[in-house]
Chains A and B, each alone.
Chain A
Amino acid sequence: MHAQSVGTVAPQTAHFTEPLPLKSGGALPEYDLVYETYGQLNAERSNAVLVCHALSGSHHVAGIDATTGAVGWWDNLVGPGKPLDTNRFFVIGVNNLGGCYGSSGPKSINPATGKPWGADFPFVTVEDWVVAQARLADRLGIGRFAAVVGGSLGGMQALSWTLQYPDRVAHALVIASAPKLTAQNIAFNEVARQAILKDPDFHGGHYYEHGVVPVRGLALARMVGHITYLSDDAMGQKFGRTLRHDKPVFSYDVEFEIESYLRYQGDKFAGFFDANTYLLTTKALDYYDPAFDFNGDLVAALGRAKAEFLVVSFSTDWRFSPARSREIVYALMHSDRRVSYAEVDCAAGHDSFLLDEPQYHAVLRAYIDNIRF
């Protein structure tokens, strides 16, 4: 079986006019969701799989974008003959609300003012995203997903699906994720946010009107993020202490290769991502805590789930460490849910979940092959 690409893909847009009540209070009066699909929905509409994206991801999960030529962010997982095989499954990727890839977000026009929402776009949560995704599923005639899959923040959505719509998801694949962020993890997000909020070009979130973008803050935010997505070892192996000029030149310009890498990644990101989306999304991460309404009792919180679970973590991931995945696993086990857990030995830190490390993909393939619909 030779794995292939899903080929050229183009996004679609679904417009919703029924207001979406939000956990932060209030409602989004109307909104767009941009999505892509791969494979064919079967006659019983039972082979659909939802892929949820993380902080900087999008609806463009797989294939080659017809306009930009960009390859999907999880193309190594999704396609004909790949672990999430589009010969069997109908796979959906959705850009979440508050995003900057076409779904309604801070860059979109606020119908009440005729101007971009900017900082006035309401706070959205993981739970809100899941409700919006469920409405898209309704629109596509999908009652129950064969699986909901996600890594990192996407894993939180997959978990939340099983709690908000227990009857609408048969399997959840929760990868490199956590049942809630630790204080340390929130701290990294706060540094990233402060970098954006304190950028003089931020203008209280209404920078669109000023014709500027807080690129310095956004780049700094991304630099901090990148440090936490890599392991010490991976960074050491990739960059070490390599000096651009082979010796110290006593300057604040780029000297160490790691500086060059971080600046490049930061600037690249600031060139296309929206700062308000970054703020909103990191807050969604921080707020997620399904046990909050259960006095912190995760076993009670996850007892609502009916899905079967695969949980995966990576040995060198310190942003979403294996210990955090084990919390999910033990809580599911102690509430008599079906759960399997793999702790994959991989040097690449949090970013491992985007790689096609053989053991990781072998586990995913073995699990997904067993999904019946």
Chain B
Amino acid sequence: MSLERFDYDVIASWIEPGERVLDLGCGDGSLLRHLKAVRQIRGYGVENNPERLVACVRNGINVIQIDLDQGLAGFDDGFFDHVIMSLSLQAMHNTQDILREMLRVGREAVVSFPNFAYWRHRQAILNGHMPVSKNLPYQWYDTPNVRFFTIADFEVLCEQEGIVIHERLAFDEDKVILDEPNFLASVALYRLGRKA
């Protein structure tokens, strides 16, 4: 899955020039490459897929191969300004651990995920089928996604974990959704911090 450019622009707007940025599940490194170009960041990606790792190396991105299910052992507390996980949280088993780890090694976390309560997904379920869409392109039997949650669910978890939501942007395709995001938005993007 890849983020669209408008998401890149939002993330870039949350990042100061020269920051240290860690991108978890960085794919071929496009986001880090973008942030390097527009924000001159010092970026590192984490990727465990062999082909995507080679793509990162080819793209000249610093990439570190580790299995995120093992957490971020070896990363110092607070080393990064921002730790990003774009459209991957729903594919992680240890949701709470990874959120804690992101906010341990980073001052802030940036997280995006597909909203399973999006109205088209609700419609698919009402029609008797699991949703398949641009942001959920898999069939139920071959999906890498293991956690199915909504914007409302995520915000409950943040409250429970003492995670502060600094900003939230919700989208339907490239359109920003301000009203009823849990119903009308297909993707949500958050800037998160620790409770002071």
Contact of B53 among A326, A333, A338, A342 (CB under 8 A): A342
Q: Is the CB of B64 within 8 A of A359?
A: no
Q: Is the CB of B50 within 8 A of A341?
A: no
CB-defined contacts of B54 to chain A, threshold 8 Å: 359, 362-363, 366
A296-327 residues at the B interface, CB under 8 angstroms? 310, 326-327
Q: Is the CB of B44 within 8 A of A333?
A: yes
Contact of A334 among B64, B65, B76 (CB under 8 A): B76
CB-defined contacts of B62 to chain A, threshold 8 Å: 333, 338-340
Given known contacts A338-B62, A341-B63, A345-B50, A330 and B57 CB-to-CB distance under 8 angstroms: no
Total interface residues on A, CB under 8 Å, equals: 23
Given known contacts A336-B42, A341-B65, A330 and B53 CB-to-CB distance under 8 angstroms: no
Considering the chains assembled together, what is the distance between the CA atoms of A290 and B128 in angstroms?
A: 63
Q: Is the CB of B64 within 8 A of A329?
A: yes
Q: Is the CB of A341 within 8 A of B58?
A: no
CB-defined contacts of B63 to chain A, threshold 8 Å: 340-341
CB-defined contacts of B99 to chain A, threshold 8 Å: none
Number of A-B residue pairs having CB atoms within 8 Å of each other in the complex:
55
The reply on B75 being an interface residue by CB < 8 A is yes
CB-defined contacts of B76 to chain A, threshold 8 Å: 330, 334
Q: Is the CB of A343 within 8 A of B66?
A: yes
Q: Is the CB of A330 within 8 A of B75?
A: yes
The reply on A74 being an interface residue by CB < 8 A is no
Q: In whole Å, how far is A328's beta carbon from the nearest beta carbon of chain B?
A: 11
Given known contacts A363-B57, A369-B58, A342 and B65 CB-to-CB distance under 8 angstroms: yes
The reply on A367 being an interface residue by CB < 8 A is yes
Considering the chains assembled together, what is the distance between the CA atoms of A336 and B21 in angstroms?
A: 11
Residue of A whose beta carbon sits closest to that of B20: A336
Counting chain B residues whose Cβ lies within 8 A of the other chain, the interface size class is: 20 to 34
Residue of B whose beta carbon sits closest to that of A333: B44
Given known contacts A340-B63, A341-B65, A326 and B56 CB-to-CB distance under 8 angstroms: no
Considering the chains assembled together, what is the distance between the CA atoms of A264 and B20 in angstroms?
A: 53
The reply on B60 being an interface residue by CB < 8 A is yes
CB-defined contacts of A340 to chain B, threshold 8 Å: 56-57, 61-64
Q: Is the CB of B42 within 8 A of A363?
A: no
Given known contacts A326-B74, A334-B79, A341-B64, A370 and B58 CB-to-CB distance under 8 angstroms: yes
Q: Is the CB of B44 within 8 A of A363?
A: no
B5-60 residues at the A interface, CB under 8 angstroms? 20, 42, 44, 50, 53-58, 60
Residue of B whose beta carbon sits closest to that of A343: B65
Considering the chains assembled together, what is the distance between the CA atoms of A180 and B74 in angstroms?
A: 17
Q: In whole Å, how far is B48's beta carbon from the nearest beta carbon of chain A?
A: 9
Q: Is the CB of A370 within 8 A of B66?
A: no
Q: In whole Å, how far is A321's beta carbon from the nearest beta carbon of chain B?
A: 14
CB-defined contacts of A344 to chain B, threshold 8 Å: 50
Given known contacts A334-B79, A342-B53, A366 and B58 CB-to-CB distance under 8 angstroms: yes
Considering the chains assembled together, what is the distance between the CA atoms of A16 and B188 in angstroms?
A: 66
Considering the chains assembled together, what is the distance between the CA atoms of A343 and B48 in angstroms?
A: 9
A345-373 residues at the B interface, CB under 8 angstroms? 345, 359, 362-363, 366-367, 369-370
CB-defined contacts of B44 to chain A, threshold 8 Å: 333, 339
Considering the chains assembled together, what is the distance between the CA atoms of A345 and B49 in angstroms?
A: 11
Given known contacts A330-B74, A340-B62, A359-B50, A367 and B42 CB-to-CB distance under 8 angstroms: no
CB-defined contacts of A333 to chain B, threshold 8 Å: 44, 62, 64, 75, 79
Considering the chains assembled together, what is the distance between the CA atoms of A329 and B60 in angstroms?
A: 16
Considering the chains assembled together, what is the distance between the CA atoms of A344 and B50 in angstroms?
A: 8
Q: Which 7 A-B pairs have the closest CB atoms?
A: A366-B57, A366-B58, A330-B74, A341-B64, A343-B65, A362-B54, A359-B50
Which A residues form the contact surface with B (CB < 8 A)?
310, 326-327, 329-330, 333-334, 336, 338-345, 359, 362-363, 366-367, 369-370
List 7 A-B residue pairs with CB atoms under 8 Å apart, sorted by A's residue number: A326-B74, A330-B75, A334-B79, A340-B62, A366-B54, A366-B57, A367-B57
Which B residues form the contact surface with A (CB < 8 A)?
20, 42, 44, 50, 53-58, 60-66, 74-76, 79
Excluding A310-B57, A333-B62, 18 further A-B contacts by CB distance (< 8 Å) are: A327-B74, A329-B64, A329-B74, A333-B64, A336-B20, A339-B62, A340-B61, A340-B63, A341-B63, A341-B64, A342-B57, A345-B50, A363-B53, A363-B54, A363-B57, A366-B57, A366-B58, A370-B58
